[in-house]
Amino acid sequence: MPNYYSTVAVHEPLPLALLSTLEREILGAAFQDAQPDGELIHLFASETAGGFLEMRLSELRKAFENLPDRATGVGRTLAAPLEAAAAGGSGDDDMVTVDIDEDAWLSVLQDISARMPQQMIRVTAAWTCSKPEPQATGGSAMLVTPKSIFRGSTDSLMAQFIDEASQEIGHLDEVTPEPGPEPQP
């Protein structure tokens, strides 16, 4: 059975002074290979970006209540486990799991991008497989701005290339390769 691998990198090092404690915790859970560098942090994940943050319900509730704006990426990330804990009748000392999926860490980066001088953060991802197959490799690029998250895959880029090439060439018919020589016994 093949193994699938995915690496993710945030191109811009983030100034630690721009990140709240919760943003650091969320991004630290998502990017397991994050590397602090003085006043900056470089975000990398060698085995896909994402993870879980474990907190006591009382700590999670307090962190959520102390947010200046609950409509932020951090607020949206914390709201779902709070609602689930309330519906499940969890007590203050119970541990709650916060799922840090791609949408969660991208929304946190979106909040941070508004505080960055260039107001954008570039993210790239690559994936491959232990069994070389055309459909088992690829990648994506994301551009995070305060108002939008732009995403594209290598497949969408290839489709764009094909469209541009067909305009240049005038056609892109399926080409059937000539048969090769017969195998020799």
Quick one: average pLDDT of 83-101?
90
CB 3, CB 129: distance < 8 Å = yes
Q: What pLDDT score does 185 carry?
A: 44
Give me 120's structure tokens: 């954008």
For the stretch 9-61, pLDDT in tens is 999 999 999 999 899 999 999 999 999 999 999 999 998 899 999 999 999 99
pLDDT bin (cut points 50, 70, 90) of residue 167 is: confident
- The CA distance from 7 to 48, in Å, is 5
Domain positions in the chain? 4-50+101-169
- Dump the DSSP string for 83-113: HHHHHTT--TTSEEEEEE-HHHHHHHHHHHH
pTM: 0.82
Question: What is d(CA 98, CA 80) in angstroms, rounded to the nearest whole number?
Answer: 8
